[in-house]
A = this chain, B = another copy of it.
Amino acid sequence: MNRLAEIAKLAGVSAATVSRTLTRPEMVAERTRRRVMNAVQATGFRPNELARSLKQQDSRTIGLVVTDLNPFHATLVKGVQDTAEQNELNVILFTSDDSEAREREALRVLRSHMVQGLILIPTAHTRQHQTLLQGLTVVELDRETGMEGMHTVQVQNRSAAAEAVRHLTRLGHTRIGAIFGQLHVSTAAARSQGYRDALEESGLPYDEALVRYGNDLEGSGRAAALELLGGPASGRPTALFVSNHEMTVGAIIAVRALGLRIPGDLSLAGFDDSRLMLLHEPPISVVAQPTYELGVRACELLVQALGGQREVQHLRLEAPFLPRGSTAPP
């Protein structure tokens, strides 16, 4: 006898009635409802989600695929989870590490768990996984692929980056180095555009020798910074803009290793705020994404979409630049 049937027997009703009481109580007579609820309470019964999902062809579960689990992502995840909880959704979390195989596997598992919705930080490989995404409602978070039908939640990357670099030009810097992620990632492309925008505004030339591309991890930021700053003081950039959190940390490490002083020898502007940036001596000027809110919004958007809202939405939040002690005149 299945579990539902046991409760039914206990309450002297049919299984269907128990099910109704639990899902659409208004369809059940007051008296019956109470008897059922008593039995449910007494046994601590909770319906099996798997069976329910299987039957309904839909699970109350959403997938969340992030590229990494650094402080930025942790905050994102919190935003999503808190919002999911409010909407009685469960979250299955995966980390793709920007790897094609891991992303594919994550999507497969999520499909087989019958998630209908998905929040995804897309990677360079997401386009290849189009088939796996068929029929799923997906919200692209932080980055965008440009694929049709995907909702997106991200910040004004281009203007935010421009604002950071503008801050540096205004301080009088003319040799401004920059470290971006891989250009085929939308955030990197947009932020690099912002960098060019700001240079152009002040009539500064775009100099490839001052630009490096990493993989968004600390190590690549460190390596890139070492290259840019390793030369003699004469040709070295006097300011550096790094376009994500981990690479900014890497740059800080490189600057230390080279014995340079911030902001004396180098002005440093980073991306994504954190306690590390704030407690650093001096505090690091950063573009501060509203990280938690990004997560919240992504989840809210997904909930709406799952609720029937057909229109594809594209959300863009502001990411203010916070000038702090790490940036000063050259």
- A residues sitting closer than 8 Å to B (CB atoms) are 44, 46-51, 53-54, 59, 69-71, 73-74, 77-78, 81, 85, 90-95, 102, 105, 108-109, 111-114, 131, 218, 249, 252-253, 256, 275-276, 279-281
Contact = CB atoms under 8 A, between A and B. Distances in A.
Contacts of A53: 50
Contact of A74 (B47, B74, B108, B276): B74
Contact of A92 (B85, B90, B249, B252): B90
A90 B109 contact: yes
A69 B93 CA distance: 13
Contact of A47 (B93, B94, B112): B112
A-side binding surface: helix, strand, loop or mixed?
helix
Contact of A46 (B49, B70, B102, B108): B108
Contacts of A102: 85
B54 A51 contact: yes
Contacts of A249: 275, 279
Contact of A49 (B91, B112, B275): B112
Contacts of A281: 280-281
Contacts of A59: 50
B276 A50 contact: no
Contacts of A279: 249, 252-253, 256, 276, 280
A91 B90 contact: no
B69 A111 contact: no
Contacts of A111: 46
A269 to B, nearest CB: 17
26 contacts: A44-B131, A46-B108, A46-B112, A47-B112, A48-B54, A48-B112, A50-B50, A50-B59, A50-B114, A54-B54, A69-B77, A69-B78, A70-B74, A73-B74, A81-B94, A81-B95, A85-B105, A90-B92, A90-B113, A92-B93, A93-B93, A218-B275, A256-B279, A276-B276, A280-B280, A281-B281
A51 B112 CA distance: 9
A130 to B, nearest CB: 12
Most chain B beta carbons < 10 A, residue from A53, A113, A256: A113
A218 to B, nearest CB: 8
Contacts of A90: 92, 109, 113
